[in-house]
A and B are shown apart, each in its own frame.
Chain A
Amino acid sequence: MGSSFGEFVDTLGKGVKNKAIKAYIPGGASAPWLRGDQLDVKMTIDDVANEGSMLGSGAVVMMDEDTNLVLAAKSLVSFFAHESCGQCTPCREGTTWLENILERVASGRGRLSDIDLLLDVCDNISPGLTWPPKMTTICPLGPSATASIVSLMKDFRSEVEVLLPKKVVIG
């Protein structure tokens, strides 16, 4: 506590092997991602909250420049889809739908409309896509699934766009 994420990885985690860090999750699967250039954020509740994320469960995940962030988001969403209890509609249907769309996009079968669709489905689970999240669900599990997608679209949109078909302009 108190040292920065960069120091934390370099000392306790013994650093990242000759790679730059592209993004990292400061506190568990439900926390919004931070970018690699935000490694000097201090590991305190307030500092992380100021950056729009949270320390949460304290599970820090570093993603280096080789990481496919779409697949990373997909595996996080899959986790929430699997964990959903199925009681309320937005979480039961929404998380699985997000998982399916991300899987399609990651495997190159995405559509141009998928970015808007992903964000709008997230918005229907967590209205406004704010942090801390608002929710249409009973518990915060559903909105947690949206955090990684919102981070992906906010900071790493180009990684999704390269997987989508090019816009064809006629004339």
Chain B
Amino acid sequence: MNEKVTFTVDGKQLEGKQGQLLIEACEDSGIHIPRFCWHKRLDPVGMCRMCLVEIDTPRGKALVPSCTTQVSEELIVETESDTVKKAQEGVLEFLLINHPLDCPICDKAGECPLQDQTMAYGPGESRFIEEKRHFEKPIPVSDIVLLDRERCILCARCTRFSDEISGDPLIEFIQRGNKTQVNTFPDEPFKSYFSGNTVQICPVGALTATSYRFKARPWDLKKVSSTCNCCSLGCSVELNVSQNKMLRILGEDNEFTNQGWLSDKGRYNFEYLHSENRLLNIHSRENEDYQTITISDAIEKIKNKIKDLDNPEIKFIVGATAQMKNILQSTNLLTP
């Protein structure tokens, strides 16, 4: 499997591993091939046809999707030939003819692969004068995820995620041909503990989360890498902050922990940060009544309490979500 093979892309000699997908091998060598359906953590399906490249076959040049083609010795690939460019432009036009182009009110605008790749590879104008495909928009598929089937480009990322990764295939393709759509089973919501991941990997604004809808624009967000503290797994996350308010948490690809995924608890529980019921100050109970006190007062109080005890035995209860720093500090405090 780890055998090295050499192949040619746009006249350049590249090296890849035997059995590696062409799109991945090109990516490793800095050649970007546009794509919608391909995701490195999901099985390739070759459905969107955006990553078409031209390869030399015994029967002449052929257009093949680079996400389902494996590299092999002496493979000759063209990623920027006129045929490839024409095909990619054609695919983008096909994807756009039934896309509502409601970017000004779409949450994805600004970080949308469809938008970005249309700018880079797509046609400048539409030739489509027919009526677009219409669906009721958006429909709630669960309490936290909304689905807009008009924006959907049917890349199967969400359906593959729930099938392969989270293992609860509650959203699926229904109908066929031009009527193909993603939907849940009747009377069965998309009640997955990992549903938020589908929102993150959706290459358009078809799947949106109730907590983030219409809250911000991606270019206004400050992005900070962090670690999720909702359980002991320690998933890598990206915190999206705007105007000093947490708006969204995304999973960050970390080979050793979460591989880019995140549970809904880690993704959406940040709402407590700005909750009205959140305790922001130290409270002291005086005669069945809570009073706000300062931290120095609180320490003074505790100090006096301990002083008054004879032979005190002190124990700390450290929460499961406490950081290593807190645990270390408590142990340091206890060991003289």
Contacts and interface: CB of A to CB of B under 8 A. Distances in A.
Contact of A86 (B89, B97, B127, B178): B178
A27 interface: no
A75 interface: no
B63 A93 contact: no
B270 to A, nearest CB: 36
A101 B180 CA distance: 20
Contacts, number: 91
Contact of A100 (B49, B130, B176): B130
A117 B50 CA distance: 21
Interface stretch (A50-58, A133-141, A150-158): A133-141
A127 B94 contact: no
B128 interface: yes
A124 interface: yes
Q: How large is the interface on A (under 10, 10 to 19, 20 to 34, 35 or more residues)?
A: 20 to 34
Interface in A102-138: 104, 111, 113, 117, 120-121, 123-125, 127-128, 134-138
Given A97-B128, A101-B130, A124-B87, A89 B47 contact: yes
B303 to A, nearest CB: 70
Contact of B47 (A88, A117, A128): A88
Contacts of A81: 177-178
Interface residues of B, number: 32
A128 B47 CA distance: 21
A83 B179 CA distance: 11
B46 interface: yes
A9 B70 CA distance: 49
Contacts of B242: none
B49 A90 contact: yes
Contacts of B177: 81-86, 92, 95-96
Contacts of A104: 130
Contacts of A87: 47, 180
A137 B90 CA distance: 12
Given A117-B127, A134-B62, 7 more contacts: A89-B47, A89-B48, A89-B94, A100-B130, A113-B127, A124-B91, A136-B90
